[in-house]
Amino acid sequence: MRNTILWIILFLLVWTAGRGQVSIPAGHLLIGLDKTGRFVSLTDTAGKKNYHPAGTDSPLLRIRVSGNWETPVQATFKGKGSPLKILFLPSGTLVSVGILPKPTHTVFEVLSIDPPGNAEAVAWGPVSLSISQSVGEIIGVVHDSTFAIGLQVLNVKTLGGEMLNDEGSDPTRSNTAKAAPFGCTLQAFTMDRTSPRKVSGWWGQFPDMPVAPIPGEGLEHSRIALFGCPAGEVLQTIGKIEVAEKLPHPMIDGIWAKESPEYGRSYLIADYDENTIDELLQYTKRAGLMSLYHMYPWVSWGHYELSPDAFPNGAEGFRQCAARAKAMGIRLGAHTLSDFINTNDPYVTPVPDSRLAITGSSILTRDIGTADTVICVESPVYFANEKANWLHTVRIGDELIQYRSVSQTSPWTLNGCTRGAFGTGTSSHHSGELVGKLLDHPYGVFFPNFNLLQEIAVNMAQRFNELGLQQMDFDGFEGCLSAGQGDYGLEVFAKTFYDHLDHTVINGPSISEPFYWHICTYCNWGEPWYGGFTQSMQQYRIDNQGLFERNYLPHMLGWYLLTDSTTMAEMEWMLARAAGYNAGFAMATSLEALRNNPDAGGLLDAIRDWEHCRREGAFPPALREQLKDPENEFHLERQSDTLYLLYPVVRIPDTDPVRYTHGEPVQVRLQ
């Protein structure tokens, strides 16, 4: 039956006689392309509504040649099984695009470019659409009340969004879908990475940063999928696309992660060790939380060796902790900062790895001995960049050297040098040797080039496999820009980590990416360090809920800090917001705070009760609207396994200190 349907779909892929138009089915969407390779219709096959706004220029593909974008002038198609041949002027470049319809979507792929190497980038779209109701900038899906249209990138070389710069990076949440005056657009791009380049790296912080070529990573095989489906079937359709195109499709306990009841669950952040694991697991269990997450279990980032203070029995001691957590139905997590490399890591000391990322280099113009503290260089350009220069470190051979300042005039010198920095050995160096400026960060870390970036991702995956860890965050995800490859570096890092796991690891990012969406389990943005429960980035946390909704991500409210003085009123204020938005959260705390807070047991019970009602859908829509309002406060009391009473909390006028009383309760029932 499936083969029959596919043959019917392929039969429909025809060049319509007399109109110079090719009609391509893509799930419930019928795509119309004209003889110049532009979209002329994007029609819901059931409702017969054309979502392509008239008068907009909407090419299937564009190419960039010598820094200029070219749009297609002619498209020819000889029938099913043949590629679409698209001609671009003024360069005269001919691009062959494969078209493969499937039951839920159609794949478009760059097969060849003639002459080879003529284009430096290709861009899919922008595809113009008249939809404006919901525009999912990360996932690339837009919809109105009845119909959805989406663009999915199908490999890491195809980046969602516009090509905003020569680095191929986007500092926003993404723009695979983007609002426009007529509705919205969908777009993606691929850059040729086979030639050495210079970029303004990390969103412009490192001008003229050299980038090494990646052999074989040209424009061929840039791939996207276009699809249309009923608005209520987006997630299920994307799941089918993931399976059909062999995209990441993580499972949690046998269920696709995006549909798992574990999706978007709250968790506890507290540093555990071999001696405290049982007590903290009991707290986690009492609160009914998904996992117990450690912020600092490592000696360093890069190689991810366990801290001997916390885990004196090493990997075996940690595995015992993980086994005890698993027996209680709790996951253990560990925090990382993606590809950040601590200065005490073996990639830095005692012999610095040659693959540490550099922002640029010059050459020595004079020999130096082991005691010299002034270094003469041919050019000051990269060393004098104080816009982003915290560790002031250069590498010469196997030595790291920190400098205090750069001379203002020629001869150019690095002054006040500390030789053999970070435990590296000192040695003599000769005129003509390369002096590389290491890329660093305010956290006092270094970063990898593209090759080392992938090795670090493998290191991390292997450590998570060895220890049985089941949760992590790609915090500092933007660190993967260190390779100079833009957002491609982020996508490659995440996929390399994912590909080397032997089990599902629940994870979230610090910034979002379209391909990574398929790996991601949540985005939990909002830090607790700026004030109490009601002040710490609260509007930012609430604003994120719309972003999550339109991008088919679980609602999350970010991190909150439970201290030894956190009160029940503060906790229930936050829990009411979480219930209103149906949002999970992270509760950051410490063993000392839990032991010293006199209300700790009640706070954990409150988390358990509110979260149980939220996850079971016990709060009806009208009540959830009240729970969202930050001016409203509530108190929840458990009466039985299926009945809770929700009391509004009312301020008693003219009292100092402020006193409160409970109003008439609302019954909250679980099915």
pLDDT per position as a tens digit, 608-617: 999 999 999 9
Contact between 192 and 221 under an 8 Å Cβ cutoff? The reply is no
Average pLDDT rounded to a whole number, residues 83-103: 97
Nearest residue to 69 via CA among 159, 153, 164: 164
Give the per-residue pLDDT at 656.
64
Q: Which residues of 500-511 are buried (b: 16+ CB within 10 A; e: fewer)?
A: bbeebbbbbbbb
Instruction: Compute how many other C-beta atoms are within 10 angstroms of the C-beta atom of residue 455.
Output: 16
Check: CB of residue 98 under 8 Å from CB of residue 108.
yes
DSSP states of 341-355 as a string? EETTSTTTSSS--TT
- The confidence score (pLDDT) of residue 443 equals 96
Tell me: the pLDDT tens digits for 398-430? 999 999 999 999 999 999 999 999 999 999 999
pLDDT reported for residue 20: 67
Confidence of residue 13 (pLDDT cuts 50, 70, 90): very low
Q: What is the pLDDT of residue 81?
A: 77
649: Cα separation from own chain's centroid: 39
Residue 14 pLDDT > 60: no
Q: pLDDT digit string (tens) for 578-593?
A: 999 999 999 999 999 9
Rounded to an integer, the average pLDDT of 237-245 is 98
Mean pLDDT over the full length of the chain: 94
Edge-to-edge strand order for the sheet containing 331-334?
506-509, 471-474, 331-334, 291-294, 267-269, 584-588, 556-561
16 pLDDT tier (thresholds 50, 70, 90): very low
Question: Has residue 10 got a pLDDT over 60?
Answer: no
Mean pLDDT for 25-45 is 97
pLDDT band at 658 (very low <50, low <70, confident <90, very high): low
For the segment 192-214, the average pLDDT, to the nearest whole number, is 95
pLDDT of residue 402: 98
Specify the pLDDT at position 546.
96
pLDDT value at residue 535: 80
- pLDDT tens digits, one per residue of 442-477: 999 999 999 999 999 999 999 999 999 999 999 999
Weakest mean pLDDT among 319-328, 477-486, 537-546: 537-546
Domains along the chain with CATH numbers: 2-247 (2.70.98), 261-339+449-522 (3.20.20.80), 358-438 (2.40.10)
Is the model's pLDDT at 216 over the cut of 70?
yes
Res. 19 pLDDT band, cuts 50 70 90: low
**What integer is the mean pLDDT of 196-204?**
93
| For range 643-653, the mean pLDDT | 88
> What local confidence, expressed as pLDDT, does residue 390 receive?
96
Q: pLDDT at residue 221 above 80?
A: yes
Averaged over 624-640, what is the pLDDT?
Answer: 95
Question: Binning pLDDT at 50, 70 and 90, where does residue 211 land?
Answer: very high
Neighbours of 415 (CB within 10 A): 12
Q: What is the mean pLDDT of residues 91-118?
A: 97
Please report the pLDDT score of residue 180 as a whole number. Answer: 98
pLDDT (average), residues 264-286: 98
